[in-house]
Amino acid sequence: MNAHTRALAAEACGTFWFFFIGAGTILTDSVIAGGGLLPIALAHGITLAIAVSAFGPFSGGHFNPAVTFALAIAGRHPWARVPTYWAAQLIAGLAAGFALRVLYDRAITAIDSTHLGTPALAFDVTPAAGIVIEAILTVFLVWAVYGTRVSPLAPPIAGFGIGLTVMTDILVGGPLTGAAMNPARWFATAVPAGFFENWYVYWIGPLLGAAIAGFSIRYLLAPPPDLKT
């Protein structure tokens, strides 16, 4: 197995893990009338932190088309590998979504009420506002990915800075947009749930935020050559 194939396998495994636990927690919380937003944020954040730490050495631990796109813009990921990374993320995400559909088939009420854990806009959030919120949250996520893992000056904290960023983003944005920050995270559960309302928010918002973050990294945050290791 060559390095690129290994990287795609790592992206697929990490994406499946992250989405299965993240969306699965939303479903479980709905079934048992659990603790609401905080456990959901913790589940997403902790799972992503561990998955990035486990698979990051093989693929970079993106698990998100927006992150891959941002790092390509920043000059930290080959453009030629963007389509294959996106394919791995979307396919693994769908696998997680359909696995949850089968697992929770007995809990139809939970599936219907949460759309299988699919991010959605609050009733008073317009699509335009949703795009802005998703873009801002994605900027924070990409900055965390770069600053704690990709940068040659990154501290040795593995994926936990990234996971904590997702957790805090969800605490703020979860009640507003679901805080996807990730087109694949929306896609993974939207397809098996058959729920496509405001679908464009979850593509435009994260990719717009990724572009902003990618350009800011490339032209503002990247260390000068004499500081690179």
Q: Give the model confidence (pLDDT) of 137-195 as tens digits.
A: 999 999 999 999 999 989 988 899 999 999 999 999 999 999 999 999 999 999 999 99
Find tokens 């561990």 and name the residue. 50
SS3 label, residue 115: coil
pTM of this structure: 0.95
**Spatial CB neighbours of 189, under 8 Å, sequence gap ≥ 6:** 19, 23, 97, 100, 115, 116, 117, 118, 195
Please state, in angstroms and rounded to a whole number, the distance separating the CA atoms of residues 163 and 47: 7
Residue 92's identity, in one-letter code, is: A
CA 138 to chain centroid: 9
Backbone CA torsion sign across 122, 126, 132, 138: positive
**pLDDT tens string 5-62:** 999 999 999 999 999 999 999 999 998 877 789 999 999 999 999 999 999 999 999 9
Find tokens 């990719």 and name the residue. 207
Helix axes 82-103, 65-73, angle to 10 degrees: 170
112, 211, 213 from 70: Cα distances, Å: 33, 6, 6
**pLDDT tens string 30-45:** 988 777 899 999 999 9
Domains and CATH numbers, the chain: 3-227 (1.20.1080.10)
